[in-house]
């Protein structure tokens, strides 16, 4: 019995340690998720100074509903009452191509207001190593002869022409003029135009980037600094596209210490719904079982299945049968008849030392008993608990046989 209690204590300690580990791990993960530093910068899921969760949660207080977009932009809602925020964009975005440029233009053409704000930077960032284009080899042939024109192999179509960059597509570029005063020059006061009403204070900016729109492309400057435009707008269809050189004014830090509500209201315009594009930051929704669980709130069903699995594992480890005494053997299971099943049940339920006493008690109930003073009755009354059951059983069998013979002899003598 001591070994059984030791095993139970060991299992209890193991379960307690596992439970403490799971609770601690869940607490650490909840703290990370509450802070939001596991998400990219300028994500509306991030609650630290580098996120935009304050703006996401403050807009409903002004009567503007908010939502997050975890899927491609083509699946976003379209309409004139929507303002789509794409915050923390790569400053080199205008120098490359994006796969959803048509979706951005289509969203703006439907009447929505698309706001693209770039990450702040005091100098032009370097392109990633894998994104740099290798230098083309020298095309000067020897002896001044022109090289023959390259012809594609047979059976293969010529390569498709390269797509123009986003800056050329929209007719604007983002430049970084030299600032001798460093970050102090980046924070110098600016001037809003008549197209950005209500701005009476200087915008908190942390970037040296400036926009250079081309003439005749329809861009309007909304806010300028000494070195160029910082906020520009262009009409596309029934909506508009707004580019901001710095997303800092919309961050949690700026909302806490340098908030500019008039600037936010001017960016949103007449829209009554704000959509924060999280998919552009890499926070996408992966369709799967957990997505369905969260969507249809099946957490209770999942917890029930987990409890059933734990109970099944426990049942497989500890069967719902009484513990066997030390040295007691259990016959192997297999095809048995009713007699063998009864014997097996008796072995599991009745201790070995009490088996003979239980059998005698049951025999007395069913047989109606024996006359007082009978030798068998006297023998049953003299059964001692310390005698082996086999010897006692043989004595009882012999006594019953003698009693049967004596009754047979007396019956034969009476007939004679």
Mean pLDDT of 195-200: 62
Mean pLDDT of 214-226: 86
User: Residue 141 corresponds to which tokens in the numbers above?
Assistant: 């042939």
Query: Which pLDDT belongs to residue 276?
Result: 94
Higher pLDDT, 279 or 32: 279
Nearest-Å Rg of the Cα atoms of the chain is 44
Burial 379-393 (b: 16+ CB within 10 A, else e): bbeeeeeeeeeeebe
Lowest mean pLDDT among 38-42, 75-79, 97-101, 166-170: 97-101
Mean pLDDT of 235-252: 91
Report how far residue 139's alpha carbon sits from residue 95's, in angstroms, rounded to the nearest whole number.
26
Q: Is the pLDDT of residue 186 over 90?
A: no
Higher pLDDT, 248 or 185: 248
Residue 148 exposed, middle or buried by CB count within 10 Å (0-12, 13-18, 19+): exposed
Mean pLDDT of 229-235: 91
Mean pLDDT of 170-196: 67
377: number of Cβ within 10 Å: 16
Lowest mean pLDDT among 48-52, 177-181, 212-216, 230-234: 177-181
323 three-class SS: coil
Mean pLDDT of 245-265: 89
From the centroid of its chain, how far is CA 239? Answer: 36
Query: Which pLDDT belongs to residue 159?
Result: 54
Residue listed under structure tokens 């508009």: 240
Query: Which pLDDT belongs to residue 137?
Result: 42
Helix or strand (DSSP H, E) at 313: helix 299-317
Report how far residue 32's alpha carbon sits from residue 24's, in angstroms, rounded to the nearest whole number.
13
Report how far residue 57's alpha carbon sits from residue 36's, in angstroms, rounded to the nearest whole number.
14
Question: Which candidate, 221, 219, 220, 218, places its Cα nearest to that of 229?
Answer: 221
Average pLDDT, the chain: 76
- Rounded to the nearest 10 degrees, what angle do helices 389-415 and 355-367 cross at? 30
As a CATH number, domain 36-124+163-285 is 3.40.50
Contact (CB, 8 A) for 89 and 80: no
Q: Is the pLDDT of residue 401 over 70?
A: yes
Report how far residue 255's alpha carbon sits from residue 268's, in angstroms, rounded to the nearest whole number.
16
Query: Which pLDDT belongs to residue 240?
Result: 92
User: Residue 203 corresponds to which tokens in the numbers above?
Assistant: 């915008």
Lowest mean pLDDT among 14-28, 127-141, 255-269, 308-322: 127-141
User: Residue 8 corresponds to which tokens in the numbers above?
Assistant: 């139970």
Report how far residue 18's alpha carbon sits from residue 26's, in angstroms, rounded to the nearest whole number.
12
Question: CA 140, 146, 148, 150 torsion: positive or negative?
Answer: positive
Report how far residue 313's alpha carbon sits from residue 231's, in angstroms, rounded to the nearest whole number.
62
- Domain ranges within the chain, ordered by starting residue: 36-124+163-285, 347-415
Report how far residue 75's alpha carbon sits from residue 287's, in angstroms, rounded to the nearest whole number.
14
Length of the chain: 416
Q: How confident is the model at residue 135 (pLDDT cuts 50, 70, 90)?
A: very low
Contact (CB, 8 A) for 116 and 277: no
170 three-class SS: helix
Report how far residue 392's alpha carbon sits from residue 385's, in angstroms, rounded to the nearest whole number.
10
Query: Which pLDDT belongs to residue 312?
Result: 84
Query: Which pLDDT belongs to residue 117?
Result: 92
Using CA atoms, how far residue 53 sits from 15, 250, 284, 323, in Å, is 39, 10, 17, 59
Mean pLDDT of 156-182: 72
97 three-class SS: coil
35: number of Cβ within 10 Å: 13
Q: If you count DSSP H runs as helices and E runs as strands, how many of each does the chain have, helices first?
A: 13, 10
């Amino acid at each position: 019995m001591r070994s059984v209690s030791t095993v139970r204590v060991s299992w209890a300690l193991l379960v307690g340690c596992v439970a403490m580990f799971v609770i601690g791990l869940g607490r650490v993960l909840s703290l990370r998720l509450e802070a939001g530093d596991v998400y990219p910068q300028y994500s509306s899921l991030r609650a630290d100074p580098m996120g935009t969760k304050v703006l996401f949660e403050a807009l409903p207080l002004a009567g503007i509903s908010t939502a997050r977009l975890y899927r491609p932009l083509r699946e976003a809602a379209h309409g004139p009452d929507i303002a789509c925020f794409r915050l923390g964009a790569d400053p080199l975005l205008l120098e490359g191509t994006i796969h959803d440029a048509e979706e951005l233009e289509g969203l703006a053409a439907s009447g929505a207001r698309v706001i693209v704000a770039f990450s702040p930077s005091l100098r032009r960032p370097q392109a990633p190593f894998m994104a740099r284009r290798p230098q083309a080899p020298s095309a000067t042939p020897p002896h001044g002869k022109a090289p023959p024109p390259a012809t594609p192999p047979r059976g293969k179509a010529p390569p498709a022409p390269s797509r123009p960059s986003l800056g050329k597509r929209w007719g604007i570029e983002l430049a970084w003029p030299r600032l001798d005063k460093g970050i102090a020059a980046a924070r110098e006061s600016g001037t809003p135009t008549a197209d950005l009403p209500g701005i009476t204070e200087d915008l908190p900016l942390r970037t040296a980037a400036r926009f250079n729109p081309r003439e005749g492309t329809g861009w309007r400057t909304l806010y300028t600094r000494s070195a160029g435009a910082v906020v520009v707008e262009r009409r596309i269809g029934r909506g508009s596209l707004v580019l901001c050189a710095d997303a800092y004014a919309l961050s949690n830090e700026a909302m806490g210490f340098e908030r500019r509500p008039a600037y936010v209201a001017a960016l949103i315009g007449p829209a009554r719904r704000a959509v924060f594009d999280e998919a552009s930051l890499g926070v996408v929704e992966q369709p799967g079982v957990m997505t369905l669980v969260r969507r249809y709130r099946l957490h209770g069903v999942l917890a029930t299945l987990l409890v059933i699995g734990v109970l099944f594992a426990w049942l497989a480890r500890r069967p719902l049968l009484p513990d066997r005494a030390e040295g007691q053997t259990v016959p192997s299971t297999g095809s048995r008849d009713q007699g063998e099943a009864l014997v097996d049940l008796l072995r599991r339920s009745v201790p070995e030392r009490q088996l003979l006493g239980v059998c005698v008690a049951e025999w007395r109930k069913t047989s109606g008993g024996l006359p007082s003073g009978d030798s068998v009755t006297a023998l049953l009354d003299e059964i001692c608990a310390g005698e082996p059951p086999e010897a006692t059983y043989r004595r009882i069998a012999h006594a019953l046989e003698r009693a049967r013979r004596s009754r047979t002899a007396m019956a034969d003598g009476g007939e004679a």
